[in-house]
């Protein structure tokens, strides 16, 4: 059976807590349960989203450069016919959409 705990915290602390929960994608309730478990038991399975590996992986994904492909011919039928690309003295135009 679960119990309710109530606490009055400063507005700034609540805003930081809300922002942290939004960043890692959890509810404030789940974050507080994980925090209390960690403080009382020195262990929790809750993912606080602050492990160095995960933070580095996120940074790498966000700052990853898109390599420029350089090729002169393209085939759409396993090499039976070839099309010159880009045409000489023509700058290729490409639009790329990235999901965040």
| Residue numbers of the domain that contains 46 | 9-100
Total of domains in the chain = 1
pLDDT number for residue 33: 92
pLDDT of residue 13: 93
Cα-Cα-Cα-Cα dihedral sign, residues 78, 81, 84, 86: negative
pLDDT digits (tens, 9 = 90+) for 36-49: 999 999 888 888 87
2 located within any domain = no
Whether 4 is in a domain gets the answer no
**For residue 20, is it within any domain?**
yes
Is this prediction's pTM over 0.75? no
CA distance 57 to 49: 12
Residue 3 lies in a domain: no
> Would 60 be classed as within a structural domain?
yes
Of 61, 35, 62, 29, which is closest to residue 48 (Cα–Cα)?
A: 35
């Amino acid at each position: 059976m679960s119990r309710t705990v109530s606490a009055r915290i400063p507005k700034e602390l609540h805003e930081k807590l809300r922002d942290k929960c939004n960043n890692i994608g959890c509810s404030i309730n789940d974050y507080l349960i994980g925090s209390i478990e960690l403080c009382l038991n020195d262990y929790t399975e809750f993912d606080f989203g602050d492990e160095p590996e995960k933070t580095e992986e996120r940074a790498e994904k966000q700052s990853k450069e898109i390599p420029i492909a350089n090729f002169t011919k393209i085939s759409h039928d396993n090499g039976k016919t070839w099309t010159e690309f880009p045409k000489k003295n023509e700058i290729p135009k490409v639009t790329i959409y990235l999901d965040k």
